[in-house]
Each structure stands twice: as C-alpha cells, then as structure tokens.
Structure 1
Amino acid sequence: MNYQTFQPHPDLEALIKCYWTLEVPAEPAATKQRILPDGCIEMIFILGDDVKRYTSGEEYILQPRAMLLGQISEPFFVEPTGVVSSFAIRFYPYSFANFTTTPVKDLANRETPIRLLFEEKLAADLEHAIVNAADTQERIRIMDDFFLQRLKEEIVIDSILKSTIDTLLSAGGSATTSSLLKGEVSKRRQLERKFSKQVGLSPKQLGRIIRLQTALKILLNQPDESLTSIAYESQYYDQSHFIKDFREFTGVNPKEFYGNDELALSSLIYT
C-alpha cells in the first residue's frame, strides 16, 4: 500500500486538513478493509477499479466513483475489485458545510455522488478533470482552484463552532460539553444544533471519536503499552470504558487490532 498526504493552498488550510492518495496493486484474494470513524468528511475520486462497500453480510454496493463520504459513526467495510487508485480531500469536521447547501447531517453514514451536491455540469466537469489529470500535483491544483472559486462566492466559518472543535482536538476529545460551554449551559441546544447542521455529529459523538483516534495512535505507535495505560493517557475513565468505546467504533477488541488484515489500511493511516 502506498498512502501519501499533501497540503492544500494556504488559503484553504483552515478548511481542508489534507489531500491524500492511495495506491494498491491488484491482489488475487483481496481482503476487506475496515474503515474507522475519524470525525472528518472526505471527497473521494476512485481512479482505479471499482470498490465494494459491504452493507451487511455478503451484500454490497459499488461506491460512486466521485463521492462525498459523510461522517461515519460505525466501521465501514470496503473491498477492492482490482487495482486501487484513489485521490481524496479530507475536510475538517466543520468545513464541508461551507461548500454545499445539502444539510451535512443528511450525508452521515453514506456515500453521496458529488453530482447531487453541486450543479450537475460542474460536478461532471470536475470529475472529468480529476480523472484525466496527468498526476497528483495537477489534481491538487484543480481542487485548489475549485474550492478557492467557491470561497469567492460565499463562505462563513462559524467561529464558535471552530473554536469548540479546536478545543476538542487539543484536548484529545476528552472535553465535556459543559466545559466547552464554559458554564453557559443555556447554550447547549444552540451548540448541538450548530454541530448537527455543520458537522453531522453531536459534540459528544465527535469528542468520543477524537478520543478514540488518540488511543489508536498510541496503540499503534507504542505497541508495548498496556491497555490500562492507553486508557488513562487517552482520558478514559478506566480500561473497561476504553474497551467499550473501541468495540463500538471499530467492531473489535483492542487486542484484536494488532495483525488484523481487515485493519491494514487503518493501521497504515494512523501510524
């Protein structure tokens, strides 16, 4: 697997976390990969062969070749049908809402073709340009221009929402809603409505996902660390609380994470 990340234009750095590419040669017996919640929304262009996403058991859909993957709150299982070649944009939790009129909460736990999010000809021209670009740098220039043009039309970043998410990220997801509100409990519903509209998750859900990401990175980068130590370093109440959240968002126990073929891609990204 060859996974790489790239930075966007400086004027987009507050909205786009990174561009990324993934290249994997065709394998005779491809393994399902478990995609884990990370609190981000991604626009993905499939440049290689089709990719299956399992909906239950052996039932699957073919992912759209130009799509928006909304917030996910459970693991997704995907499987390549041949060569994997993808180019994607990873947005900060609050930022994609600035580029679409579709409520972000309606995009959660699903793939949405980009033609349903932008004017159809605009989406078709964008997909054609990305598919026919000579290389990754040209694709980055195309996407930079696309988003910069839309920024000129209209952009409003909710400062309260951004500062709240920045606090969650800096605290590793462990900040409570009450602490985020600095004691102004009357604003809870307003904050939750903002999160629903622009993030697609509640503050509590996003905090839990960020905290899990913190634990995953420790788990992968410090494999000799005990589960109890990882739990406390990640601000969980105790080991059982850590294991419960880990199971919910990944579908496996922490000890099953090591050497699990289905988690090879996630392990590569988080390492």
Structure 2
Amino acid sequence: MSAKLLPNVSDALFKSLGHLGFQRFAPPLQLRPWVQCYWIARQDRLPEASVSETVYPDGGTTLVFNFANDYPDITFFATQTVGKMIFQGSVNRMGIRFHPGGAFQLLGLGMPDVIGTELSADDLSMHSLLQLRDQLAELSHVSQRLTLIDQWLLDRVKKNNANIGFIQQLLPQLILTPQPLEQLSEHLPISRRQLERKFQLEVGFSPNQLKQLHRVKIARTLISQRPEQSLTDIGQDAGFYDQAHFIRHFHKITGQTPGEYRQRKMSQIYNSTKP
C-alpha cells in the first residue's frame, strides 16, 4: 500500500471522530500538491442509532465512496457553508480530500459549476470514475482500495496535464503568513485581477475568503487542542488582529461564536469520558 497512515493525534478535529473508526492516510508525493489526504471511516456498530458530524468549509473539496451496500455510492462535496454528515447503522466510507484547487486540476471541475452542491458519480459524467466505482466494488481490503485510488489519481494527473500552478504555489504563503495578497502576488506573471479570477474558477472562493476560512480552521483546531486557553490568545495565534475581527469571522463561517464552539467541544469531551 502506497498510502502512509497519518496519526490522529496530530489533529484534534480528526481525533474526535474515533467513534467512527476514522483514520487518515497520506497520498503519494506526486499527488500532494492537489490531495490533502485519504480518509476512512469504518465501524461495524455505532454507539447510537444515528450519529451526525458537523462539516465546516475550508476551501477544500471531497470525493466520498460509501460502501454501505457493497457497491459503492460516490458523492462529490464542494461545501461552501456549514453542513452535516449523517451516519446510521454500520459505517464503511472512504474519501479523497482535495486541497483548494485540487479538484479543478485532477477532475477538471470548475468550481462555479459545483460549489455548494453534492454531485453523484453519474452527475459528474466522468467515465473513468464510473470505471473506478466498478473496480472498487470488486475489492474488500482497504489497502487494495487505496492502491487503486492512487493509480486512478496518478492517471488523472497525466490525462489532465495537472501542474503546480499559481494557486498551488501561493496557497501555503496565503494561508500561513500575514502578508497581504498584493505582496504575495507581486512576483507572479499575472495581474491581481487575473489571479482573483483563477481563484474563483479553481477554488470557488477569493484569496481573502480562503485566508479567512483557514484562519477559522486554525482557531477551531486550537480550541479543540487547548480548551482552557484564552480565546483572545487563540484568535491572535490564528492570525486575527483583534478579538472583534476574530468573533465576527468565526461566527460568519461556523454559525457560532468562539465561546459557543468551545463550550460544545468541552461538552463532547466530557460526555466521551463519562463511564
């Protein structure tokens, strides 16, 4: 198997999904400019009849394979707002989590056409994806499925002539540094307006919207990892320049204030540790 297991302890948000048998795997190096991870949720019996998990937008997209009925259902999620994933009975799902812009490069999907939607394999009209579904139906072992998905994505790289474009080059700096977009893009051979258009086409968000999504994602992770830390400190660590700015953007993206989010996470931790 080419995929390497990523330990859940590195990410408190994923760590909280242990009751779903959740694991993450790293894709091959050749795919990492576009693919964040593979994930698996596999549990023969849930602790409750129905379990729901909140999904927050971060600019990425996901291709989900649901093996609940042996023959996999495939759904592409381009989430723009907070949503829910419902799990009932046994759980047997796999997913490919794409970085922002990754699905455009590897699947040829323009984000204005799909953002905010859930599309089936038939909706996507990709012959190779339908073939992949048929092949996955013949396999039962996780390692075999991951190897097949590896090969399918690598074939997509070749077929689509996927490249590490301006967006892939800019994303790490855009997300992790406080520099304004003007400074980050001044060495690119395209104008600011052209870059904005590329972001809308390939990501579905403007660069500044994506920056805010990731700052809120960092804040959510820090709240989960450090529930006792001051929310003022967490806002600063996540890159927000003042508390009002932090609360406003956090609420806009999650529908909750940072305090409400922390209270819910602490309640989940308390309930999970009760005998």
Instruction: State the TM bucket, normalised to the shorter chain.
Output: 0.7 to 0.9
The within-5 A match list for 1:59-98 is 65-70=73-78, 72-98=79-105
1:181 aligns with 2:185: yes
| Greater RCO (CA < 8 Å, at least 6 residues apart) | 1
Q: Which residues of structure 1 form unaligned runs of 5+? A: 50-63
Alignment of 1:187-198 (within 5 A): 187-198=191-202
Deviations 1:85-122 (A, max 9, x none): 210111111221122343122211111112333434x3
For 2:63, give the aligned amino acid.
M
1:112 and 2:119 matched: yes
Query: Cα offset for 1:246?
Result: 1.4
Which of residues 8, 11, 14 is equivalent to 2:30? Answer: 11
Letter of the 1:218 counterpart: L
Which consecutive aligned stretches of 4+ in structure 1 deviate over 4 angstroms post-superposition? none
Over 3 Å counting, the alpha-carbon distance change for 1:259 and 1:224 in structure 2 is closer
Superposed counterparts of 1:173-252, under 5 Å: 174-182=178-186, 187-252=191-256
Q: Calculate the TM-score normalised by the size of structure 2.
A: 0.80
CA contact (8 A) 2:65 2:93 kept: yes
Q: Residue 162 of structure 2 aligns to a residue in which SS?
A: coil
Flag the 1:40–1:194 CA change in 2: closer, same or farther, 3 A: same
Secondary structure of the corresponding residue to residue 183 of structure 2: helix
1:22 matched residue in structure 2: 41
| Contact 1:41/1:92, CA 8 A, preserved across alignment | yes
Q: State the partner residue of 1:166.
A: 172
**Counterpart code for 1:130:** L
Residue 32 of structure 1 is matched in structure 2 by: 52
CA contact (8 A) 2:51 2:88 kept: no
Query: TM-score, structure 1 length as denominator?
Result: 0.81
- Residues 220-241 of structure 1, C-alpha deviations (whole Å, 9 max, x = no match): 1111111111111112121121
Q: Conserved in 1, the CA contact under 8 Å of 2:111 and 2:202?
A: yes
Larger mean CA deviation between 223-232 and 145-154 belongs to: 145-154
Contact 2:49 2:88 in 1 (8 A): no
Residue aligned with 1:32, SS: strand
Provide the rounded CA distance (Å) in 1 between the counterparts of 2:134 and 2:145. Answer: 11
Aligned pairs (5 A) from 1:136-175: 136-171=142-177, 174-175=178-179
Secondary structure at 1:260's aligned position in 2? helix
| Shift in CA distance, 126/207, structure 1 to aligned 2, threshold 3 Å | same
Between the two proteins, the alignment pairs up a number of residues equal to 247
* Alignment-mate amino acid for residue 82 of structure 1: G
Q: Tell me, which stretches of 5 or more residues in structure 2 are unaligned?
A: 1-18
CA drift at 1:12: 1.6
